[in-house]
Structures are given as C-alpha cells and as structure tokens.
Structure 1
Amino acid sequence: MSKQQEPIPFSVSFAAGAIAGISEILTMYPLDVVKTRVQLQDNTAKGADRYNGMVDCFRKIIKNEGFSRLYRGIAAPILMEAPKRATKFAANDEWGKIYRNLFGVTEMNQSISVLTGASAGATESFVVVPFELVKIRLQDKKSSYNGPIDVVKKVVASDGPLGLYTGLESTMWRHVLWNAGYFGVIFQVKKLLPKSETKQGQMANDLIAGSIGGTFGTILNTPSDVVKSRIQNTVRVKGVVPKYNWTLPSIALVAKEEGFAALYKGFLPKVLRLGPGGGILLVVFTSVIDFYKKMKA
C-alpha cells in the first residue's frame, strides 16, 4: 500500500480488510465455484461430467444441480474472508513498517511493495488453509460431505488435526505470488495514474490499480492454485503416496500429463473474479480507512 499520512492502528487495518473481504466474496463467489470445478477436472472427465470452459460449467451446474449449487460451500469462505483479507491488508501494512525500518527508507518503493506483499501472503496462508480445504472439498461435484462441520470431522478423524493443514505449502506459493504481484503492481499503477483531488477520483484510481494488480497476481499464481486445489481435494490413504503432494512436482506432473495449458485451468473465472475483485478489495479497504480518519478528526 502507499504511505499513509499517519500510522493506521493494526486493529483498524484488520477491520477494514475484513469488511473488504466479505464485500468481495458476496459479489464474486459463484466464479470461485466454477474455477474450482474446472481446476479439479482432469483428462478422465467425460460427457456430462466434462466442462468445456467457464460458460459451459455455469450452464451445467445450474441445469443439473440447481442455481443454489453456485453458492455451495460459501459458509467456509465467509468465515474465512474476514480473517483472510484482514490478515492480508494488516500484515501488508505491518510488514511495510518492518521493511522500511530495516532498509532505512521513509516511503514505500517498488521493491519493498513486492517484498511486503509476499510476506503478507505467507502470513495469510497460515490463516486460510483449513478454510480453503473445507471449501475445496465442498465445491467438488463428487463431494459427499454434509457441510463444513462434516468435512472437519472426517478430515480430523482420518488424518488428525494437522490434516486440516493439507496443502499448506501450495497455499503459501499461491498467496505469496498473488500478494507480491497485487501489492507491487498497485504501487506502480498508482504512481502512473494522475493524482486525484476528489473522493470519486480516488475510488476510480483504486479500482483501476486494484483490478490491474488482481489480474497480474492471478497470472502469476494460477499454476500453484490449480495444484493446490488438487492437493487439498486428495483424500489421504495410509501407506499410499498421493498423486499430488508438493507444488513444483505437481505442476510438472500436470504439465506432463495434460499439457502446459492445464496449469491455467479455471483462469477465466478466476481472473474475472480476482481482477475486479482486487479493485473492490482496494476500494472498500481505502474507504474504511478514510472513514476512520474522518471520524478521528
């Protein structure tokens, strides 16, 4: 984020991030369901079970499973979005302070923006992994779970409490890459955009910068997101090495078996969500921070 006129308390950044995250998820969640369905699909899917892109996936879900299926598993993301997005923005601000002090600079620059974003992404990963695992298991078409609590019970029963952290390494890859791209690009785009003198102009700049940042972050992290979905959807069997286990070997395996393009499965719904979604996040976050400053004044 760009330098604030005065330090923003951690609690305020946390609350602003939470409000921004919930606003984004309520607007964009169906695209996330479609993205996950397409990512989980491998070469064995045939006929009615095969999705030929985003529109076909939307059509088949609504036709065969009902419109409400597009909101399947939303409880976990809603519960996750507050701590997830709050951690993202609050950690980004806190890491920014740490790195500015460490490198002896008073203002953010491009390199520190990327570094703080990556650090915030790594921090965020520890918060979101259990929620992501529950969401992925529920979004799968073949899911037999009866809601989020059932997922948690069955995973803990079979794999222990640490089973809820299946896919932590791939989640870190996903979040480090997305946040580094997102915050790094936001910094650069804001430098290039004309300085706004009005509230409406500032919101427009935030929407543009956040959308471009979200798009760039999505381009960077989609391969790790594809394998993360598969890793977290794999039910562990004792004595059997999972087909998808670690990020880089899984990326190589998907590229080998399904072609390089498979690493960008679900890219269209993902970028349609996280491009504009990144703009929504930044606009809402900035608006809440501005409201805090106004109330304090």
Structure 2
Amino acid sequence: MTADNRPLPFSYQFLAGAIAGVSEILVMYPLDVIKTRIQLQVGSGAQAEYTGVIDCFTKIVKNEGPARLYKGITAPILMEAPKRATKFAANDEFSKFYKKLFGVQQMNQPLSILSGASAGAVESFVVVPFELIKIRLQDKNSPYKSVGDAFLKTVKNEGPLALYNGLEATLWRHIVWNAGYFGIIFQVRSLLPKAQNPTQKTLNDLAAGAIGGTFGTLFNTPFDVVKSRIQNTVLKPGEVRKYNWTFPSLLTIYKEEGFSALYKGFLPKVLRLGPGGGILLVVFTATMDFFRTIHYK
C-alpha cells in the first residue's frame, strides 16, 4: 500500500476535515451571505430587492457596511469544524464499511455515491442548529445581535426543538450534495492523468473538488432554498407555517414564484461551493498526507 493510501485513525480524519472546513469558510463566507439574502426574498424582477450577485454585494456594502458580509460567521466557524470533519471522516468510514459489505477491494462510483450520501445524512444532524442560527443572522431584517443572542431568543421564544427546524430539508440538501460531490470526485479523478508530482496532485484535487462541488450544488439548490425559508420562519401565535415539509414546500415555491425560484441564490452558491469544494479537497488531502508523515514515521 502506498503512503498516499495508508489508513489513518478516525481522530486524524476528523482533524483534517476540521482544518479543511475552516480554511474554506474564511475564504468564501461572503458568498454564503449573498446566497441567503437572495434565497429569502420572495418575488422576482421589479419586485426583487436584489437582482443578482453584484447588485446584492454592492447594496450590502453600501447600505450596511462591509462587515455585514461576515455577520453570523461565528456560527459557521463553530459549525465548520464538526461539519467538515464529520463529512470527510464519515465518508472514509462508510467507504470502508461498504467495501466490506459488498465484498470489493476498490471503490467504484456507485459506492462513492452511496458513501457520500450516507456521510451527508450523518452530517445533517450536526449542522442543523448552526445553520438555523446562521440563516437568521444573515437575514437583512434580523432582530438578533449575535450568535448567542439568536440562540437564546430562539430557545426561549420557540423552545429547544426549534433549533432543529428544517432538519428534513437539511437531510435532503446534504444527502444530495455529498452524493454528487464524492461521486463526481471519484469519476473525475479516474479520468485525469495520474499525478507525477505534488503540484500535479494538488491541481488534480482542485479540479476534481471544484467539479464535484459544482455538480453537488446543481443537484441540491432547490432543497437549500426550502431549508433557508423554513429555518428563517418565526411563527406568531396562531400563525400557520407556510413552509414545512420539503416536497410540499418545493411545490408551493414553484406554483407561486416559478421554477427559477427553486434556484434562487444558485450563482453565489456555486461560486462558493465550486471553488470551495476544490479548496476543501486540496486542504483535506494535504493535511492527511502530512498526518501520515507523522503517524508512520
């Protein structure tokens, strides 16, 4: 077995995923704020406050200040370590499990998709409360001052279980994204020329991760739109929840706003998660390679 493929204990996988996740979010977070703003607005054309990525970015900076592009970053920073660590570690563990289960020696694309989907399901339970707080802080009309303020008021006013609003939509979002991401990465890596040096290996990982992130985003954006709207809903006494279960909510958005509304925020999302997927894979792989030099010395 080559050094690049030698297994590492779960703790190394977890730490490598955490480092990769925090690296990605520090670079790409403003695009996440822009994505959420566009997803939360109802209506299009002249009725829409933001007409696109540049318009949203410009208005936020002009009207609210550049710091607003980083509002709520504490929640995803706290979330990114367990989220990304869980994603990569769970994917590695599920890959080993499914190879044993189906009696194969090497991964193939169907198993890569299955492992990715399984990892996404596990990841969902970790991220839901952090995602809910983040979405509520990113809203232009957010009444919350900080992560702590949003957390305490949500629990006080809506109960602890409110932190898990949107769990079902989050499950769909993460299952679909991870299945696409890891499935495409496997396919792209198999098509790329074998790396002859560390630079080529980094470029291959960057390309595979970026393409995987792009396809994952293409597949899961409608679920992300629904998740954002469910999690940003704070009900008044006697009010009926408009967005609740995923597929009825998808149908409601489609009927009221058209098919394109299901892809609101797609451009900033893909601009983040395409390159971001590449950054994730490169940092994770490089960190795991570094840990192997320590563990096997």
TM-score, normalised relative to structure 2:
0.96
Aligned to 1:33: 33
Report the alpha carbon displacement of residue 8 of structure 1 after superposing the two structures with TM.
1.8
Aligned to 1:19: 19
Q: Does 1:65 align with 2:64?
A: yes
Q: C-alpha distance in 2, partners of 1:189/1:129?
A: 30
Aligned to 1:42: 42
Q: Aligned residues: percent identity? A: 66
Identify the range of structure 1 (17-26 vs 102-111) with the bigger mean alpha-carbon deviation. Answer: 102-111
Q: Does 1:205 align with 2:165?
A: no
Q: C-alpha distance in 2, partners of 1:51/1:139?
A: 14
- Give the SS at the match of 1:7: coil
Aligned to 1:259: 258
Aligned to 1:277: 276
Aligned to 2:83: 84
Q: C-alpha distance in 2, partners of 1:20/1:100?
A: 25
Aligned to 2:181: 182
Aligned to 1:146: 145
Aligned to 2:6: 6
Q: C-alpha distance in 1, partners of 2:238/2:171?
A: 26
Report the alpha carbon displacement of residue 6 of structure 1 after superposing the two structures with TM.
2.3
Q: C-alpha distance in 1, partners of 2:259/2:4?
A: 42
Report the alpha carbon displacement of residue 44 of structure 1 after superposing the two structures with TM.
8.4
- Give the SS at the match of 2:5: coil
Deviations 1:30-64, CA, capped at 9 Å, x for gaps = 000000000000028977x7000111000100010
Aligned amino acid, residue 255 of structure 1:
Y
Aligned amino acid, residue 16 of structure 2:
A
Deviations 1:9-40, CA, capped at 9 Å, x for gaps = 11111000000000000000000000000000
Identify the range of structure 1 (277-286 vs 35-44) with the bigger mean alpha-carbon deviation. Answer: 35-44
Q: C-alpha distance in 2, partners of 1:240/1:77?
A: 30
Deviations 1:160-196, CA, capped at 9 Å, x for gaps = 1111111100001100000000000000000000000
Q: Does 1:122 align with 2:121?
A: yes
Q: C-alpha distance in 2, partners of 1:93/1:220?
A: 22
Aligned to 1:164: 163
Report the alpha carbon displacement of residue 106 of structure 1 after superposing the two structures with TM.
1.3
Q: Where does 1:233-252 land on structure 2 (aligned, <5 Å)? A: 233-252=232-251
Q: Is the 8 A contact 2:45 2:51 kept in 1?
A: no
Q: C-alpha distance in 1, partners of 2:165/2:4?
A: 37
Q: C-alpha distance in 2, partners of 1:240/1:31?
A: 32
Q: C-alpha distance in 2, partners of 1:105/1:6?
A: 17
- Give the SS at the match of 1:50: coil
Report the alpha carbon displacement of residue 236 of structure 1 after superposing the two structures with TM.
2.8
Report the alpha carbon displacement of residue 152 of structure 1 after superposing the two structures with TM.
1.0
Report the alpha carbon displacement of residue 241 of structure 1 after superposing the two structures with TM.
2.5
Aligned pair in 2 of structure 1 residues 238, 93: CA closer, same or farther (>3 Å)? Answer: farther
- Give the SS at the match of 1:272: helix
- Give the SS at the match of 1:105: coil
Aligned to 2:95: 96
Q: Is the 8 A contact 2:124 2:167 kept in 1?
A: yes
Unaligned runs of 5+ in 2: none
Aligned amino acid, residue 43 of structure 1:
G
Unaligned runs of 5+ in 1: none
Q: C-alpha distance in 2, partners of 1:7/1:106?
A: 14
- Give the SS at the match of 1:56: helix
Q: C-alpha distance in 2, partners of 1:36/1:130?
A: 16
